[in-house]
Amino acid sequence: MKAVIFDLDGVICFTDKLHYKAWKTVADEQGIYFDEKINDRLRGVSRMASLDIILERAGRAYSLDEKKEIAEKKNSIYVSLLDTMNENDLDDGVKEVLDTLRERGTLLAIGSSSKNTKKILEKLGLKDYFDAVSDGTNITRSKPDPEVFLKAAQMLGVEPEDAIVVEDALSGIDAALAGGFKCVGIGEAATHPQVTYSIKDMTELPEVVGGVFVS
């Protein structure tokens, strides 16, 4: 084992509330019911796929151009909310975990469907912390497709069997397993019936990873 690939939102940081505010704004403008339970279905899902989930409650069909306009507006709102983030939004425990893994010589990567990944990392003071960043700007298929993780592994120069994925979403665990990776589940992902390892919080990760990486 040579590398750890992290999902971003829900693992490294938490921007769920910002996503919810942005989606809630555009849903309200369209007169579509949207709540936090529906928002939970959007975790780990691409922007356009998320919009399709929201539009399930719409009273009419939307053209592709209309969908693109709504998605772009949502992203604009979300990006403006990201400007409120700073290094204080990075949990000290998460930072310590990353430091520990780096000190061991473990390769670190991000595997996220978000197109705003690099901006978020910069806001958190993690711009140059990862050896590779695979995100929504370089993939065509969102989780549960394994593309984002496979590309992260390719960027690192390792095979899937030599890396472990850390995820908080069920679809992310599905993606990791589909790509041939071992996986660590946190939060909802810890309940996945096929998850390789489950942890309660990120502070448990170095011990789990250390056990996996012992030859």
The catalytic residues are 7, 9
CB 124 within 8 A of CB 90: yes
Q: What is the 3-state secondary structure (H, E, C) of 167-213?
A: ECCHHHHHHHHHCCCEEEEEHHHHHCCCCCEEECCHHHHHHHHHHHH
Q: Work out the number of other CB atoms within 10 angstroms of the CB of residue 203.
A: 15
Helix axes 205-213, 92-103, angle to 10 degrees: 20
